[in-house]
Amino acid sequence: MIYDNFDMDFRVAQPHAGHQGTHVSVTAATFAPYVAISPSDLRFMKELHETSRFNKDLQPHDAKIYKPTCSDILPPPEDSSKHSRLHSIKAAFAWHIRAILVEREPAFACYQRHLGLPVAIEVLPTRKTVQFPANAINADKSQNDGNWEVLTSLLDQVCATC
């Protein structure tokens, strides 16, 4: 389930006493079933929670809390046996600089056919997913009462389809 809140102000052209316009907080949601989830994926989620700074069972400076660094998300350096001499991130940056020159500077437009596409680092498989939009909920999820109202409404919508 994915949901978020958005606010809308309905203003009137000529405000006067009793007719000032309205402000509405609405929550929109969609149900998106997970695709290709295995029990080991769920165990990983438990491990993430056990080392999360949002885990209420851990003290703020507990050594178990995982502290991410840039190296956790950067791809590893390219294997030296491959043809590329650049680290994959440097190669991606170089492609973007070339693309900016080719697409924005008329003097480099003649190189457009040589630009190609950036090298994919970790390609995720594409899968068709199904979504089930929920009814919009006239509640402000940023407030405790509104959040409860949103959750009960979404549960009611799920149970109505069962």
pLDDT at position 81 over 80: no
pTM score:
0.43
pLDDT digits (tens, 9 = 90+) for 132-161: 888 888 876 667 777 788 888 888 888 776
Q: Read off the DSSP letter of residue 138.
A: -
pLDDT digits (tens, 9 = 90+) for 16-49: 666 667 777 888 888 888 777 777 777 778 888 8
Contact 10, 26 (CB under 8 A): no
CA–CA separation, 49 and 62 (whole Å) = 14
Tell me the three state secondary structure of residue 4.
strand
- Quickly list H helices, the chain: 39-50, 88-104, 112-115, 144-161
Tell me the three state secondary structure of residue 89.
helix
Contact 32, 2 (CB under 8 A): yes
Give the rounded percent of residues in the chain with a pLDDT score beyond 90.
19
- Band (pLDDT 50/70/90 cuts) for residue 120 is confident
Q: State the average pLDDT over residues 87-112.
A: 90
pLDDT at position 112 over 90: yes
**Residues linked to residue 2 through DSSP beta bridges, in sequence order:** 30
